[in-house]
Every structure is written in C-alpha cells, then in structure tokens.
A = this chain, B = another copy of it.
C-alpha cells in the first residue's frame, strides 16, 4: 500500500519498513473482533466480563486472544488489580483511540452505502 510514496522524497528504507509493518499490523487488527473491541471500548474502561457481554457472539477464547493481540500491538492497556476476585480493566491507548476514530469512519462508510451494498447483494447473492 502507499506504493506511490516509494518514488517520493521519503527515505526508502523507512517506507519499506512502514509497508511491511503496516502489512503485519493489518493482519493483526483487520478482523471482526478487533474492530468491534476497539469500537466498544471507545473512551471507556471496561472489565473483561463487561466486554464479553457487550460484544455479542464472541467466545471467551476469542475475546482473550483478541485482547492479547491488541495489547501486543499497543492498542489496548491492561490493568490488573490484585484483589479477590480478580479485576482486570481494559482501555484504549492513545494509538487505540486514534484507531477508533478511523474505525468510526468505517462505520460511517457502511451507513452511507447501506443501499448500494444491499442492492449488490440482491443482484449477486
């Protein structure tokens, strides 16, 4: 992606690094659950169970995996409170909140093109 920039004034090595990284990040966040988690979290701080309830259809396992991946990419911050029963809070980092704005754009896009999509599905479905 952004292949035009290769010919631009940006440092070549930097661009290559950006491309491959962006690509691997895409692989990590471009899935349904990650996007939904980012959206649901928003500006709030939620516990594991609250997230689980908020995202319909996600399994315990998938939610855990998704949260670990998001944490690994610096999008989500995980806070463990040493109490019994255990309490763990999740919230978006700054990068995560920035991503959420972009994801909101995606939602806006879906809303704007509802009709086109539905018609296309009727035609080709």
Contacts and interface: CB of A to CB of B under 8 A. Distances in A.
A94 B25 CA distance: 27
B73 A121 contact: yes
Contacts of A35: 26, 30
Interface stretch (A45-53, A81-89, A99-107): A99-107
Contact of A110 (B21, B39, B111, B119): B21
Contact of A102 (B21, B22, B75, B109): B109
A11 interface: no
Given A21-B110, A71-B124, A95-B116, A1 B32 contact: no
13 contacts: A18-B110, A21-B110, A21-B114, A21-B117, A26-B32, A71-B120, A71-B124, A73-B121, A95-B109, A98-B109, A98-B112, A98-B113, A102-B102
B36 A125 contact: no
